[in-house]
Structure 1
Amino acid sequence: MQKWIMSGLFFAACAFAVILMFTLPGKEQVAEQNNPTMPTVKADPAKAEATVKANCITCHGDQLQGGVGPNLQKEGSEHTAEQIYSIVTKGRGQMPSFNDKLAPEEIANIAMWLSEKK
């Protein structure tokens, strides 16, 4: 009887391992999540400003002066466009990720716009 229980547990563990092998993300997927690649977009300052007003002023203020979130008026002197893209995509600290709220191209446009603010 004990052999049957042990065999059943071994079979269940093997099946679980096989399922995990096919469902867990690979190294490339994890690397992309940790360091998202900023897509190449043509800068559109008007569109970036509109997107910021629709999504960011609640925390960063209507003039990007700060509030709940930090002041972004001189964000370009502290971070590159790629760094800003990563922060907005993944989130950081109290800032939530906008990966599921904005398209990568919209985030890239915002990152380029904010990187010009020095």
Structure 2
Amino acid sequence: MQKWIMSGLFFAACAFAVILMFTLPGKEQVAEQNNPTLPVVQLDTAKAEATVKANCITCHGDQLQGGIGPSLQNEGSGNDAEGIFSIVTKGRGQMPSFKDKLAPEEIANVAMWLSEKK
């Protein structure tokens, strides 16, 4: 009886290991999540402003003066476009990640727009 139980547990462990091998992210995926790369986009100020109004003013204020979140009026003096893209994509502190809400191109456009605010 113990042989059947042990062989069943061994089979279940092997099946679980195979499932994990195919579902866990690889090194490349983990590296991409930790260091998202800024896609190449042409800055569209009107779209960036519309995206900010739809997603950012609740926390950062309608003039980006700050509120729940910090002021973004001079964000470009402290961060470049890649740094801003990484923050918006991954989130930081109380700021949530927007990678599931906005397309990478939208985030890149906003990051480029904010990086010019110095």
TMscore range, shorter length: over 0.9
Instruction: Give the letter for the 1:61 counterpart.
Output: G
Alignment partner of 1:103 is 2:103: yes
What's the TM-score once normalised by structure 1's chain length?
0.97
SS in 2 for 1:53: helix
Structure 1 CA distance for aligned equivalents of residues 100 and 7 of structure 2: 44
SS in 2 for 1:69: coil
- Length, aligned pairs only: 118
SS in 2 for 1:79: coil
Structure 2 CA distance for aligned equivalents of residues 6 and 50 of structure 1: 61
Aligned to 2:53: 53
Structure 1 CA distance for aligned equivalents of residues 7 and 38 of structure 2: 50
SS in 2 for 1:82: helix
Structure 2 CA distance for aligned equivalents of residues 85 and 48 of structure 1: 13
SS in 1 for 2:40: coil
Give the gaps of 5 or more residues in structure 1.
none
Deviation beyond 3 Å, 4+ runs, structure 1: none
Structure 2 CA distance for aligned equivalents of residues 51 and 90 of structure 1: 17
Give the gaps of 5 or more residues in structure 2.
none
**CA deviation profile, 1:51-84 (whole Å, cap 9, x unmatched):** 1011100000011000000000000011110010
What's the TM-score once normalised by structure 2's chain length?
0.97
